[in-house]
Structure 1
Amino acid sequence: MLDTLQAALAKYDIDSRDKLLLAISGGLDSVVLLHALLELGFQAELAHCNFGLRGEASEEDAQFCQRLAQQHDLPIHIKKCETETYAQEKGLSIQMAARDLRYAFFEELDLLGNYRAILTAHHGDDQLETMIFKLARGSALEAVAGIREKRQKYLRPMLGILRNEIEAFAKERKLTWREDASNAETKYLRNAYRHRLIPLWEEIQPDLKGKMLLSSRLLREQSEALDELLEEKLSQALVREEDWERLNYDSMVDKAWFGQLLYKWLSPKGRWDWPAVHHLWQSRKGRYTENEAYRLYQGEACYELRKQSSSQSVNLKIATDDSQIDNPIQLDFEVLPREKVKLDGLREHHFLDYEALEFPLILRNWRDGDRFQPLGMSGTKKLSDYWIDQKMPMAEKDSQLVLESAGEIVALIGHRIDHRFRVRNSTKTIYFVRLK
């Protein structure tokens, strides 16, 4: 066992000079890990969470860990947590609440101690239970591969060691530890796997645990290989701007890993209706699916992602004598004689026939069903179709404002005016709208 532990530490360049933090519960696993580290010449500070879930037994666990630290002259950090209160406030199960509080405590300590690694005593049997648990929940490759040996500063050097080896180590050295009675309760699914399913499985396949640890290593290698492939594909196909992202998928939709690519890209951005995400590419341009924070559009052989618009509803009246507005956008308005104006093609400049307008004008958000006659065209067109024709990112339309006169759109602000309100040869007065 010591050789396996030594190899796991050496794999990540951990040596006896490093400052380590060891999560100590007082149970068999963490007590054995502590003694094994000491035998190998390592030192560590100890961290114990008192979750207060087992009354006097929880207090006795904390006292046991305190004595253990004193016995080996090691620093120890103990925190008492209001686990049940936290679970109720956050709407979590007790197990998840305890996990959150535990890791929050470790992070607090690391901010002060800046440890080389934070060690936990997860072992091979924990790995097997996790793999079964994740597989039964319908999880993907990354989860079914089980617990990572290393994640950031967290290191689990006993994942290659089975519980019977740990028990043998403790028995040989006559170690003492605390037993958590809840570990025997099969009302918890993980415990049911441990005490009922796995022993039955081992009767059928005695080498189950060794084979499952091998599977875990192979699955982890495959998961990491897939992750590298997806990173490479994302770097090639993903375009990021300040407030939107575009994934060019034209050569990818028939690949076996396309769904995993979408998951890697979008999963950090909240919960999604994944079937809707996967099938969006089969929809016509402009269709979308969304979550609370983002909207994902079907574009031109691409997906376009934009944060949900938090802009307020706009419906402003513009009077004849208004010269500017500053919110929600900055616009200048001028009434000018035709001979003093030199027309240009800038998208920010809208030159309109003043006599064709009816005041007050209305500046508002565009709406589904809006139509206008793009400058130079003979017929009207839906704005949604106009975006498609112009090959504009569909996400841009969310914040688009239009200028309206007597119910007719006269300009898409920052894009194009309506042909019916253009400056003609007969125009004497120009209404100039400038987007700053």
Structure 2
Amino acid sequence: MLKNLQNHINKNLAFLNESKILIAISGGIDSVVLTHLCHQLKLNIALAHCNFHLRGEESNGDEESVKQLAEQLGLEVFVQNFDTENYAKTNKQSIQIAARELRYNWFEDLANQLEFDYILTAHHADDNLETFLINFTRGTGLEGLTGIPEVNTIFVRPLLPFSSEAIEHYAKVNTIAWRDDRSNASTKYVRNKLRHNLIPILKEINPSLLQSFQTTLSNLNDTTDLVKDSVDNLLSKAIVSQDDDKTVFKISEFKSLRNPKAYLFEVFKDYGFTEWNDVLNLLDAESGKQLFSATYRLIKNREHLLLSEINNETEENILISKEEKQIESPFGLLFFDEADAIFGKRTEVIYVDADTLEYPLILRKWEDGDFFHPLGMSGKKKISKYLKDEKLSLLDKEQVWVLCSNNAIVWVVNRRADNRFKVTENTKNILKITLQ
């Protein structure tokens, strides 16, 4: 196994030979064998152990065994103690999720602080099979069936090609001591149920199950690459624009595909959407129809889909005194300057009769029921109707602000001024308001 691992590292993970490495070690057989193998290969390693205090003295025994191994091999060891049950309760998480979050956060912090290049974990081929079956059972897309990645940012799993049987054989032949976690024998958790009840039956049916599984994974990963290329090609044609606020997609590009639903899944799966028939129906829905995930929303806007992150922050009104010459707003800087005359017409600049204003001016988001008297038109018009006529999307409408004087709208900012405050031949003082 040592030679096979060396060949695997030299061929696929050669960067480990020149790296400063942290090994995540529990004291169990997998991580202990990984430590021995890396030590034999003379990699530059240190150990990191989490004591979650979930198994009483057994947890402390695990910690002590890791310290003894570090001393035996002459390795530096880092130990972190966690009140896992309290953390899980505070964050309303299961013990498993809490422990995972705690250890991975600590590993990353430790690596950053002490400048470790990579963190090794001891996941092996059987873990990969179990993860595949868990995802398959719960329902997943193609990515959920492609296994645990061997390299994921700074986390590396060099034992993925090796079976638990091979690891145990190496440990016994080399008289390596390890700690047994009794909870691994329990079928309380889904992973353990699969490990103890289902997988042995599958191995009876196919004694070469792991090899067959590795072949299947390789094929699925090849298919994933094809899908990614196809989706990238679609996005190059479908994305009309993209900025910090939203991404705009051309609906016709999705509708021209043989299976639009499959592509919608690949494009929007990372944004929390789950009801894919609803997403598909959005292509033919009325303009303004919305779908929500926990963090994003998808909006039908005429011939486009708009993807935007949900912003739960409420924008406060801004009061502007007569003395202020510059104010900062969520959409830019507003400048207030005296002017002698009107120069040109631009949507980001208005000229008003300064004597018609009542202070403080109020800058706020527009609201239902707001109306104004558009400059150059007779009579009044609801802001909602004006924005509809301007063919603004729902997202763009939500970003419209108005400048008010005593409840009367002076300016639909960056769009149109109000007729009631315009400069006339009787105007004595002109105020120029500029958005930058």
Q: Which bin holds the TM-score, normalised by the shorter protein?
A: 0.7 to 0.9
Looking at structure 2, the residues matched to 407 and 345 of structure 1 have their Cα atoms a distance apart, in angstroms, of 25
Looking at structure 2, the residues matched to 229 and 364 of structure 1 have their Cα atoms a distance apart, in angstroms, of 44
| 1:322–1:333 contact (8 Å) kept in structure 2 | no
Compared CA separation, residues 366 and 41, structure 1 to 2 (3 A): closer
| 2:317–2:362 contact (8 Å) kept in structure 1 | no
Compared CA separation, residues 297 and 190, structure 1 to 2 (3 A): same
The DSSP-based 3-state class of the residue aligned with 2:23 is strand
Aligned residues: CA RMSD: 3.7
Which residues of structure 2 form unaligned runs of 5+? none
Please say which of residues 396-405 and 137-146 is displaced more in the overlay.
396-405
| 1:352–1:422 contact (8 Å) kept in structure 2 | yes
**What is the CA deviation profile of residues 227-281 of structure 1, one whole-angstrom value per residue up to 9, with x for unaligned ones?**
35444544662633344443344313443443134326x52xxx44654555444
The DSSP-based 3-state class of the residue aligned with 1:282 is coil
* 2:51 maps to 1:50: yes
The DSSP-based 3-state class of the residue aligned with 1:44 is strand
| 1:127–1:213 contact (8 Å) kept in structure 2 | no
Looking at structure 2, the residues matched to 17 and 88 of structure 1 have their Cα atoms a distance apart, in angstroms, of 42
Which of 314, 318, 326 is residue 317 of structure 2 equivalent to? Answer: 314
Residue pairs, 1:66-85, within 5 angstroms: 66-85=67-86
**What is the total number of aligned residue pairs between the two structures?**
423
TM-score, L = length of structure 2: 0.81
* 2:262 maps to 1:260: no
Please say which of residues 11-20 and 55-64 is displaced more in the overlay.
11-20
Aligned to 1:34: 35
Displacement of 1:94: 1.1
Looking at structure 2, the residues matched to 300 and 385 of structure 1 have their Cα atoms a distance apart, in angstroms, of 17
Residue pairs, 1:19-418, within 5 angstroms: 19-231=20-232, 233-234=234-235, 237=239, 239-255=241-257, 256=259, 257-263=262-268, 267=271, 271-272=272-273, 274-275=275-276, 277-290=279-292, 295-306=297-308, 308=311, 310-314=313-317, 326=327, 330=334, 332=336, 341-342=341-342, 344-350=344-350, 364-368=364-368, 370=370, 374-375=374-375, 383-392=383-392, 394-402=394-402, 411-417=411-417
| 1:304–1:394 contact (8 Å) kept in structure 2 | no
Displacement of 1:147: 0.8
| 1:128–1:212 contact (8 Å) kept in structure 2 | yes
Displacement of 1:36: 2.8
The DSSP-based 3-state class of the residue aligned with 1:298 is strand
Looking at structure 2, the residues matched to 410 and 65 of structure 1 have their Cα atoms a distance apart, in angstroms, of 72
The DSSP-based 3-state class of the residue aligned with 1:246 is strand
Which residues of structure 1 form unaligned runs of 5+? none
Compared CA separation, residues 399 and 314, structure 1 to 2 (3 A): farther
**What is the CA deviation profile of residues 302-355 of structure 1, one whole-angstrom value per residue up to 9, with x for unaligned ones?**
33345527353438699xx89878475736487x9xxx6446321134456899
Looking at structure 1, the residues matched to 298 and 244 of structure 2 have their Cα atoms a distance apart, in angstroms, of 16
Displacement of 1:189: 1.0
Please say which of residues 122-131 and 286-295 is displaced more in the overlay.
286-295
**What is the CA deviation profile of residues 86-121 of structure 1, one whole-angstrom value per residue up to 9, with x for unaligned ones?**
212222211111112221222233124433432111
**What is the CA deviation profile of residues 184-217 of structure 1, one whole-angstrom value per residue up to 9, with x for unaligned ones?**
0001111011101111233333333322222222
Compared CA separation, residues 326 and 29, structure 1 to 2 (3 A): closer
Looking at structure 1, the residues matched to 39 and 320 of structure 2 have their Cα atoms a distance apart, in angstroms, of 77
The DSSP-based 3-state class of the residue aligned with 1:143 is helix
Please say which of residues 211-220 and 390-399 is displaced more in the overlay.
390-399
Q: Which amino acid aligns with 2:346?
A: L
Looking at structure 2, the residues matched to 423 and 112 of structure 1 have their Cα atoms a distance apart, in angstroms, of 61
Percent of pairs identical after alignment? Answer: 33
